[in-house]
Structure 1
């Protein structure tokens, strides 16, 4: 009976970065061409190691956020149609696994940020924090404001009290 051969698992990004100092300059140049699609711009080895390490991490840890892509498509469409860019809303992106806690009317409510950008609350998934805030309070709320992720807006140019003396 012939033993099956399992293909070796590729080294982790950490292992590849740790091994960069052991590469010959020719191997380093070849890796540069593979990653960047061009010859390296300098013979400085330290520069090459740092840029290659960064690129390896960028490739490994790059994540595509579908909601971000959709927002960008809508903004581009609006720009093309009107010729004006809308003021960019400050997007609040929380890391998956983040737990938001809010006490409301003596009850502690916990929300977990899911991997896909949605939120888990009491065993159900919600696309926005505002929907959860409404579920908790029974009224419309800014979810990021309710959970303390966003600070309340400051009053714009309040009227000055009294005059100059």
Structure 2
């Protein structure tokens, strides 16, 4: 792929490439053999890389913050962006959806909703909405 084309044109060209073409382009851009990744991930990482080469990479401040996070993760295990908090047994969780108030009682081993016990809040959220939802997110149980 030639560097004289615009960034937008190079990104657009990646969308029409098959996996073999993406792997070959990977060698051009990164200088190493492409890892075994799904075609969507290969494409995303190549798009990120050509943007980085054209527009510049992370700032020194951002690199320092990433190093601090990496160091922290090494000491404390996995980094979590947002913690899901499970309320203690006996807590009542309410959520208004589609003009109706829905109440769930937290039990030691599950959740009670309209007289039935469910193992997960996601199952209850699906019953309420008719589509897949993360139960903790639907009931807004993210830690602060």
Bigger Rg, structure 1 or 2? 1
Which one has the bigger helix percentage? 2
The one of the two structures with greater contact order (alpha-carbon pairs below 8 A, sep at least 6) is 2
- TM-score, with normalisation over the residues of structure 2? 0.41
TM-score, reference length from structure 1: 0.36
